[in-house]
Structure 1
Amino acid sequence: MKNDYQIILSKLDYFIRKYYKNQVLKGTIISVTIILFSYLFAIISEYFGNFSITARTIIFYSLVGLFLIVISTLIIIPLLKLLKIGKTIDHFQAAKIISTHFGSLQDKLINTLELLRITENSLYSKELILASIDTRIESIKPIPFQTAIKYKENLKFGRYLLIIFFLGIVLNYFYPSVLFDGSKRIINHSIYFEPEAPFKFIIENDSLTCKKGDDFTIKVSTEGNVIPENVKIHYSNNQFILSKKSINSFEYTFKNLNTSLSFSLSSGDINSQKYTLNILPSPNVLDFKIFIDVPEYTGEKDNIVENTGDITVPVGSKVRWDFKTADISVLQILFNDSAKFNVNMGSENSFNYEKQILESSDYKIVASNNFFANQIILKYYIKVVPDLYPSIKILSVQDSINKNLFYFKGLINDDYGFENLNFIYTIPGQNKSLKQFITINKTLTSQEFYYTFDFSNINSAEANNIEYYFEVSDNDKISGSKSTKSQLFEYKLISRDELKKQKDEASESAQSKLSDSQKLAEELQKQVSDLKKDMLNKDMTEWEKTKKIEDIIKKQEQLEKKIFEMQAENQLSNEFSSQLTEEQKELLEKQKQIEELLNNLMDDELKKMFEELQSLMNKMDEKKMNELTEKMEMSMEDLAKQLEKDLELLKKMELEKKIEETAQELEKLAEKHDELSNKTDESKTPSDSLKKEQEKHSEELEKLEKEYEKLQEKNSELEEPEKLKNFSEEFKDIKNQMNDAKQNLDKNNSKKASKSQKSASDKMKDLAQNMKDMMQQNQSAQEMQNMDDLRQIIDNLVHFSFNQEALMVSIQNVNYKDPKLDEYKRDQLKISDDFSIIKDSLYSLSKKSPMISSAINKEISEIEQNILKIKTDFEDTRIQNVKSDQQFVMTSANNLALLLNEILKQMQEQMNQQQKQGNSQCNKPNPSNNPMPGMKKSQQSLKSQMEQMIEQMKKGDGKGNQFDKNAMNKQIAKMMAQQEIFNKTLNDLKTKSSLSPEGMKKLNEISQLNEQNLKDLINKNITPQLVKRQELILTRLLEAEKSDFEREIDKKRESKEAKNEEFRNPNEIFKYKELNSQFNELLNLSNIELNKYYMDIYKEYLLKLNKNED
């Protein structure tokens, strides 16, 4: 029974759920029908009624209320009950509904439920009640309760919905404006809609909002059958006419809006609704600061910038922005239009942001608030000053004596400082580079440095082609240290033959250019002479005259260029000569005098004449042109003669140099042959090696003989050849001795070969001395002759001066009508002829002596020009002018006499000095001043001590071993003391003596050997190797002693000073070479207090100056 009872209850529950489902369905249909009907009714009424805002607002809210009531009552409440939320019908109520539907059921279902309810509490027999319930259930169970609910009954409500829906479709299709306009007015119930008019106003602006402080332009157009002529705007009790932009479009601009305002539009009787223009607060930065934290290594100070965002910072700087703002909720910084960073918000209306800056960038401050998003309110630029690579510029100078020694002057620049500076060189055949550290001031951003390097310290077998450069590194802490290399240099050992060849080429080039210059000067003289004649030619046009002057100026430029090239070649030749030979002091003095003559060829006065000619070319002043051409013709004639004279002097000096060079080469060959003789005598060197060396010496002698023969040929080409002896017999004797030595070497007869070699060496020394004596005699004879000639010239010049003075006195009271005037003219002509003889004599003398300087030529030119004026003044009978011109001649003649007297004194002093030197050369050196014997004795003693110590160490045994060590320590200490004394004596000899280069080289080798021996003694490293080095020291001392300590004392002292220049300030070398320019000014950059911007400009300016000078 119990199961049957549960079935009845389940059926009732199912019925209840279906009941509420039906309620929801019916309610939905009815709700939609009511909503659609009421909505259509409202919008149709509004469309045709055109209600006011108030009426539309009532209708809108009425509709909303109706919709809410209908939906909540008919849909929401049944739906909640379906979900068993709230109170629902119970089983008795469901039974009543079911009983109503099923008539046959009557009250059976209700009674059954009643019986079940009273079962537990009934006073009647329980069994009877249960039996009655079973009977009733059996009769009820077959009945389907759910059929009491029929969904189809809701279709009757759907008919009304369809009718209303159909009506809406018809309206939408035929009268869409009714639906859309009516809906629009009901929904926008608070907005005023104009009554239908001939036209309507349309606001074209997307929105009626404006940023505070901005201008706002209202754009209005009209739409309709009528187009208004004008439109007015009304606001703040004022009205203004809009500007017409087209037939139906109008504009009006509100200026600098700060508060919201209402406005309306009108045209005639047609008025628009009221519009409101809302003013929105704009994002604004009131104040900001930028804190710049620069990297410490730059040495610059941190900085604070206020209210300007364009900044310049060193790379790697940390920059912090602090903003004070108004009406900003979000602040961002946009870099390079790509990366956007949110700015941290601090306290109210304050923001800050920090970033390390590594590259230049545009940046924008982007602000947002409740009304404006991503507004770019500020635009700025950060310029990053990069830490540039350091720069390095190197100048190098080769020592004029020691060609292996180079002086370097460098300029290094960097933004902030340096890490290190190194000199790096690579030896061929080695894979590694060798580095030498150079001390610099790391904090000084621009500085000079000097460095000296001697390539002879590198193994000569490897030092033929060495690549080297300087490398500087900066102190960049952000990107890491950056390095810059200087230009790559190459050191190549120049052989003596190559050096000699270059010297000969430079000398020949200088002579060739000097000869070309002479020809150009003669051509120029002819052109000037032709121009002087053409100026008198009336038929010649101005253009033709100008063209001739232009040709003269071009020719003058060619001459000037050719002379400059000749001077450079001559200087180069002189430098090569100084490298090849140790020239005599007299020869050096003569070389200097000739160089001065060559450098003063184009004097300022001559250049001024050509400048004046160029300026007269445009004016064509015939009088001035005639005077100028007259002067120029004489000057060009003098220049041509001077060039001819200088060419002769240059040839003569070159001959003397080469003879001196040949003599020195013979001496060197003699020394080498001496060494060969010693080797041959000792019989330690292999025979084949001796033969090769002997053949080499023979070839060198053959070259020297041919060289001397060529010199004899060149001598014959001179206008006044030197008296050169024929040394063919001497050369023949030397060659015979060398041949004897060669034959004896072939026969392995070392003693005879050595004797022949020694004889050949002595003969070569004699021949070299003969050549020097020959040149000395020639020079002395020539100087005596020059002095005699000069005395005669001075006497003639004095007579000329007296005669000119006498004539000048004679014509004091003469006028142009005096019959003696013709006689005076003839006397003046004779005096002029006398001066021509003097001039020719001086010209002839100047070809023999370079002491006749350009100052003498100037005075001669002055005399000639004034003599020419006297001649012209006599012809024009300008007697007063004649007198003044004669006075000028007298003055110049006296000046010339003084100059020639001074030269004569110099010649006499030079002759006396040569005689003294000649006498001193004949004297033997004082042995008491020579420390060599004592030094040799000391080193021989040390060698003996070392040998004894090695012997003791070999013989030593276990007994008394401690005693032996103590004795050895004492002996070593004694030897070290002796070596220190020797070292001091050696240094004194190197610094105070006037040694030859060969002798200095030997002493340097001794120093190195002695230093190695000292190290071994300190380390108690007593070995046979130590003794061998000691023997080498003795050998080098013997070789040094053989050097000629007394030869060319003054010259060698200069050589010594130059050699030791690396221990002095190399700046003096560069001053001497005139290589300073703006270099020193650049050094002082660090001492000038300027900010970074102006410092960079100043550096760039000075570097450009230096570059232009280079």
Structure 2
Amino acid sequence: MLGLGKQIEKKEIAELIGNYFPEIDDKLLNLFQLEEMKEKEIYKSYDLIDLAINTKIEKLKPFPFIKAIPFNKTKKYSKWALIPVFLLLVILSIKSEIVVSSSKRIIQHQKHFEKPAPYSFNVLNKSLTTFQNDDFVLEIQVVGEEVPKELYIEYNNLIYKCLKKSNTNFTYTFTNLQKSLQFKIQTEEVVSIPYDLTILAKPIIVSYTMELKYPQYVNKRNEIIENNGDATVPEGTTVVWNFYTKNSDVVQFILPGNISSLKPKNDHSYQSLRIREDLSYQIVTSNINTTSIDTLLHEIKVLKDLYPEIAIQSQQDSLFADRVYFKGTIQDDYGFKKLNFNYSLFDESGAIKQKDQTIPIKFDNQLLIQDFYFYFDASIVSVQPGEKLEYFFEVFDNDEVNGSKSTKSSMQVFKLKTFDEIHKEIEKNIESSKSDLQNLIDQSAKLINQIESFQNKLMQQSQINWQEKKELEALLENYNDIREQIDQIRQNQQDNKMLEEQYKDLNQEILKKQEELIKRFDDILSDEVKEMLQKLQQMMQNQNKDQIQKEMDKLKKSAQDINKELDQQMELFKLLEFEKKFQEVIDQTRKLAEDQKNLSNQIDQKELSKEERISKQNLLNDRFKDLQKEIQQLHKQNKQLEEPAALKNRDQQQEEIKQDMNEALQNLQKSNNSRAKNRQQSASDKLDQLADDLEQEKNEAENEDLAEDIETLRLILNNLLRVSFKQESNIKLIHSINAKSPLITDASRAQKEILDYMSLIGDSLDQLAKRQTAVKPFIQKELSKVEQYLQSIQTDLADRRLHTASANQQFALTSINNLSLMLAESLKEVKEMKQQSDGKCNKKGGNSSCSKPGSGKSKPRSARELQQQLNRQMEALKRSQDQKGKQQGKGQESQSMSEQFAKMAAQQELIRRMLQEYQNELRGKDGVGDKTIEQMIRDMEATERDLVNRIISAQTIQRQKNIETRLLESERAEQERDKEEQRESREALQRYLPKPPKEWNFSKEKESQIEMIKTIPPSLRYYYKEKVNQYFYNIE
């Protein structure tokens, strides 16, 4: 290299300088040697070497070494010096640390320098700062000619391996940092300088709760939800959030359009809201260092309180047209407040009588879905025939947040039939019962013929074949069919009876007869017949011909008895309907007379306009036409009886009444009110007289019939007694002879006479049973037994079976005696009926006044009728006095009037005593009596004094009208009491313990099974609770 590459050693330099400066000598050489020793680490004691070096340097400082260089000689070589200078510049530009670091070590020779590493560490993170509880990922890059295979982090006196991402990049994750720390990066060759990782406090929510305070009405326990900000709650729920924080200065509760900043106290803050709508919210914590980036975003769903639901089914009572069964289903999400039946009542013309009335209905507060039953009796709210009821059900929920909400069922209309429609229905039912009874009579007669035909065929057969079995089965089916029809007719008559009781004012005697007539059907369907049918069915299987023949005889006799009893039932039914019609005609006549009199009184008082008077009189005239038709129907029904009553012809009376009423109408049309009033009063008096005549005729006919029945029963009992004696004599005769005795013929002849006697007695009883309910069906059955025994005796005697004949004679005698006892009871019953009938009429002075049949005691109605008659007599006498005056026939008239006054005073006294007895009866019941009756008694005493003093003043007449009015009111009150007593006795169960229709009933066993498994866990959310409730309701 041109001689330039030769390097001058340190030793040569030291010798050159030593030669130039003799004072230095070998000191510089020694310095270089000490340095070499340190570099080569010949001695381990660096401190001594450093001290020696420093000493040498101090001694060499005063010498100017540059003078030792011969610059003149070297100038020629200076141009070659540019080459290393250029090289130095290149080195500095490429890798300056080669020169710099060496120079630095030379300059700072007293400082320890690490041996230069082949690589270095570069921390890529912009900041060595993070938050408490966070993780921190340290990113490291290795720079150098060499790259370590592994890299480590040292902190807290522990060494951790870094994760190698690439050849030069490493990472290390510090987890869950709690406090600041210092760390180093190191390998086996290199250790970095210490680094500081700073940890800042982070605002956090340690935990939080939501306290759900439900509205009380939802029947749900309050609950606390921990660390869950989402929920579904009923509307109106109050939610209280409790936040437990750390390192937080502020907790922000963020709602749409609103931010609430909560200042924690002891790391606790809270927020309370009443939730009415769906709600989305955020929770953000912050402190001086930062705002938490982990915001909580939540949603609360609101369950709105729904409207309640209701569904209704209805079914009218099969017996009572004014009663309806309702079955309803109500459903709500949280429960009910009330359930009502709302109605408005309208009269026949459409005018409202009762508006917006409410009847509360009970329900179960614990069930959200439930059925309810409601029984509505229109009579309780005084719905009259022809009126209508508009009604609906309304259910209210228990919403306390928005207020109770209600849902209504559809409006329904319930209309009662008019009196005319009800009357037609009753008449139709009666005719239907008659027709059904007649059909049964015909069927039973046909059955008897079929039985006789079968018996004849059976006698000709040696054994029962398949065809006879089928015929016998058909006979039994026909017999059972008759029994079923009898039971159906009985039920129909019972239903019709209840309908009549509801809408007709039937007296107790007729009601008793109706009940007795219905009970007779039960006696027709006896258990003995059932047993006989069962025996026949068994015998058919065994094919016992003789036994079947005997049982067929019994079946034939039973069919004959049924035919006879049905025939009696038909006649008794006709007779009862005749009596009812008779009483209805009497009642309608009296009511028409009363209404005609009231209209007459309204003319004087001028309460009505001309048009109203004419209209009302027209209605009364039409009612009289209907009454005439009813009288014609009465005569028609009488003719249908086997023994018709001797009804008198009332055509003349009807014609006079008709004429008076027509003239009254004509005078009203001509505005001649005075004449109209006279005609009205005349018509009223004649109607009253017609009612009296009809009632007297009815009662007299009843008395005659009862007297005849008593006599008939006496005769029958006497004949039975003779038959009994004859049977006893014949028993003794048969006991005294043997089978070969010729006296058997005499015994047989005597027995035939007894049978003939019993046949006559049977005919008499049959006729009596057709008009007298006291002759019960079991009497007819006992008579049939007697006849069977007597016929068997005849057969036994003919076959000379004396032992069997004697046994049958004893049975016959026993049945005859039983029959006598039964008829004696019937006679006693008829006598009691006769005594009651005798007590109905009081005859005095040739006039007859009868109480309502079956009353048995002096009730207000009989007193009112007597008072009406007396008042008419007094008014007639007063008019006579006013017309004739005192001039004509004074002496003779005075004597005649005195007799009339005395007679009327006696009649008034009689009425007063009747009322006093009735008042005493009332006091015996309630200890108080009736104040109205007390006032009437005092007024009657005043009238008696006036009559004794021969005074009939306007005041007297007015007092009598007041008495009559009070008697009418008392009569109506008594009728209401009677109806109430009858209603309580007849319909207590139906009215107060109504039974829903059969199809609405459900199995109690199934219900109990459902209740056993119906347990809804309280932890279930609302949605699932509703599903569970719906499931159980569906299976119910």
Bucket of the pairwise TM-score, normalised by the shorter protein = 0.5 to 0.7
- Residues 387-427 of structure 1: CA distance to partner in whole angstroms, max 9, x if unpaired? 99899887876998xx87x5879898999986433213366
For the residue of structure 1 that corresponds to 2:621, the secondary structure is helix
Q: Distance between the aligned counterparts of 1:640 and 1:697, measured in 2?
A: 46
Match of 1:783 in 2: 706
What's the CA shift for 1:835?
A: 0.9
The letter of the residue matching 1:766 is: Q
Q: Distance between the aligned counterparts of 1:474 and 1:514, measured in 2?
A: 56
The letter of the residue matching 2:1012 is: N
Gap change, CA 1:397 and 1:1040, over 3 Å in 2: farther
Gap change, CA 1:511 and 1:821, over 3 Å in 2: same
For the residue of structure 2 that corresponds to 1:720, the secondary structure is coil
What's the CA shift for 1:912?
A: 1.3
Q: Paired residue for 2:762, among 819, 824, 839? A: 839
For the residue of structure 1 that corresponds to 2:417, the secondary structure is coil
Q: Paired residue for 2:781, among 849, 858, 862? A: 858
Match of 2:968 in 1: 1043
Q: Distance between the aligned counterparts of 1:1065 and 1:899, measured in 2?
A: 29
Q: Paired residue for 1:421, among 335, 339, 360? A: 339
Gap change, CA 1:870 and 1:1038, over 3 Å in 2: closer
2:508 matches 1:585: yes
Match of 2:828 in 1: 905
Match of 1:772 in 2: 695
For the residue of structure 2 that corresponds to 1:466, the secondary structure is strand
The letter of the residue matching 1:1043 is: L
Q: Paired residue for 2:362, among 417, 429, 440? A: 440
The letter of the residue matching 1:859 is: E
2:675 matches 1:763: no
Gap change, CA 1:864 and 1:421, over 3 Å in 2: farther
Q: Distance between the aligned counterparts of 1:426 and 1:482, measured in 2?
A: 22
For the residue of structure 1 that corresponds to 2:443, the secondary structure is helix
Q: Distance between the aligned counterparts of 1:1069 and 1:990, measured in 2?
A: 31
Residues paired across the two proteins, number = 640
2:978 matches 1:1054: yes
Where in structure 2 are the equivalents of 1:695-774 lying within 5 Å?
Answer: 695-774=618-697
Q: Distance between the aligned counterparts of 2:450 and 2:748, measured in 1?
A: 31
What's the CA shift for 1:905?
A: 0.8
What's the CA shift for 1:891?
A: 1.2
For the residue of structure 1 that corresponds to 2:339, the secondary structure is strand
Match of 1:978 in 2: none
For the residue of structure 1 that corresponds to 2:389, the secondary structure is strand
For the residue of structure 2 that corresponds to 1:730, the secondary structure is helix
The letter of the residue matching 1:491 is: F
Q: Distance between the aligned counterparts of 1:435 and 1:684, measured in 2?
A: 32
Which of 810-819 and 112-121 deviates more?
112-121
For the residue of structure 1 that corresponds to 2:342, the secondary structure is strand
Q: Distance between the aligned counterparts of 2:455 and 2:838, measured in 1?
A: 53
Match of 1:544 in 2: 467
Match of 1:888 in 2: 811
Where in structure 2 are the equivalents of 1:1069-1084 lying within 5 Å?
Answer: 1069-1070=990-991
Gap change, CA 1:686 and 1:435, over 3 Å in 2: closer
The letter of the residue matching 1:739 is: N
Match of 1:50 in 2: none
Match of 2:46 in 1: none
Match of 1:507 in 2: 430
Q: Paired residue for 2:728, among 805, 813, 817? A: 805
Whether contact under 8 Å (1:399, 1:407) holds in the other structure is no
Gap change, CA 1:652 and 1:879, over 3 Å in 2: same
Whether contact under 8 Å (2:309, 2:330) holds in the other structure is no
Q: Distance between the aligned counterparts of 1:409 and 1:992, measured in 2?
A: 41
Q: Relative contact order (C-alpha < 8 Å, sep 6+): which is higher?
A: 1
Match of 1:829 in 2: 752
Q: Distance between the aligned counterparts of 2:1014 and 2:722, measured in 1?
A: 74
Q: Distance between the aligned counterparts of 1:586 and 1:691, measured in 2?
A: 39
TM-score (norm 1): 0.50
Whether contact under 8 Å (1:389, 1:474) holds in the other structure is no
The letter of the residue matching 1:1092 is: I
Gap change, CA 1:913 and 1:714, over 3 Å in 2: closer
Whether contact under 8 Å (2:375, 2:994) holds in the other structure is no
The letter of the residue matching 2:616 is: E
Q: Distance between the aligned counterparts of 1:641 and 1:459, measured in 2?
A: 44
For the residue of structure 2 that corresponds to 1:420, the secondary structure is strand
What's the CA shift for 1:746?
A: 2.2
What's the CA shift for 1:853?
A: 0.8
Match of 2:719 in 1: 796
Whether contact under 8 Å (2:325, 2:996) holds in the other structure is no
Q: Distance between the aligned counterparts of 2:426 and 2:996, measured in 1?
A: 24
The letter of the residue matching 1:692 is: S
Match of 1:559 in 2: 482
- Residues 199-234 of structure 1: CA distance to partner in whole angstroms, max 9, x if unpaired? xxxxxxxxxxxxxxxxxxxxxxxxxxxxxxxxxxxx
Q: Distance between the aligned counterparts of 1:1083 and 1:1037, measured in 2?
A: 61
- Residues 620-666 of structure 1: CA distance to partner in whole angstroms, max 9, x if unpaired? 21011011110111111111111111111111111111121111111
Gap change, CA 1:1067 and 1:820, over 3 Å in 2: closer
Match of 2:841 in 1: 918
The letter of the residue matching 1:592 is: E
Gap change, CA 1:418 and 1:117, over 3 Å in 2: closer
Match of 1:637 in 2: 560
Whether contact under 8 Å (2:314, 2:324) holds in the other structure is no
Match of 2:1012 in 1: 1091
For the residue of structure 2 that corresponds to 1:424, the secondary structure is strand
Q: Distance between the aligned counterparts of 1:1065 and 1:579, measured in 2?
A: 11
Q: Distance between the aligned counterparts of 2:529 and 2:992, measured in 1?
A: 30
- Residues 513-564 of structure 1: CA distance to partner in whole angstroms, max 9, x if unpaired? 0000000110111111111111112278612101211221232233223323
Whether contact under 8 Å (2:614, 2:668) holds in the other structure is yes
Give aligned-pair identity as a percent. 26
- Point out where structure 2 has 5 or more consecutive residues left out of the alignment: 1-79, 92-213, 223-233, 236-306, 843-848, 852-856, 865-921, 937-958, 1017-1028
Whether contact under 8 Å (1:580, 1:661) holds in the other structure is no
Match of 1:967 in 2: none
Whether contact under 8 Å (2:363, 2:372) holds in the other structure is no
Q: Distance between the aligned counterparts of 1:733 and 1:496, measured in 2?
A: 28
2:572 matches 1:654: no
What's the CA shift for 1:433?
A: 9.7
Q: Paired residue for 2:613, among 690, 709, 718? A: 690
For the residue of structure 1 that corresponds to 2:521, the secondary structure is helix
What's the CA shift for 1:781?
A: 0.3
Gap change, CA 1:620 and 1:469, over 3 Å in 2: farther
Match of 1:621 in 2: 544
What's the CA shift for 1:805?
A: 1.4
Gap change, CA 1:926 and 1:115, over 3 Å in 2: closer
Whether contact under 8 Å (2:696, 2:850) holds in the other structure is no
Where in structure 2 are the equivalents of 1:319-358 lying within 5 Å?
Answer: none
2:504 matches 1:605: no
What's the CA shift for 1:464?
A: 3.5
For the residue of structure 2 that corresponds to 1:422, the secondary structure is strand
The letter of the residue matching 1:630 is: D
Whether contact under 8 Å (1:392, 1:485) holds in the other structure is no
Match of 2:798 in 1: 875
Gap change, CA 1:1041 and 1:763, over 3 Å in 2: same
The letter of the residue matching 2:748 is: K
Q: Distance between the aligned counterparts of 2:988 and 2:373, measured in 1?
A: 9
- Residues 440-474 of structure 1: CA distance to partner in whole angstroms, max 9, x if unpaired? 3644769988766656858989x833243556678
The letter of the residue matching 2:977 is: R
The letter of the residue matching 1:586 is: E
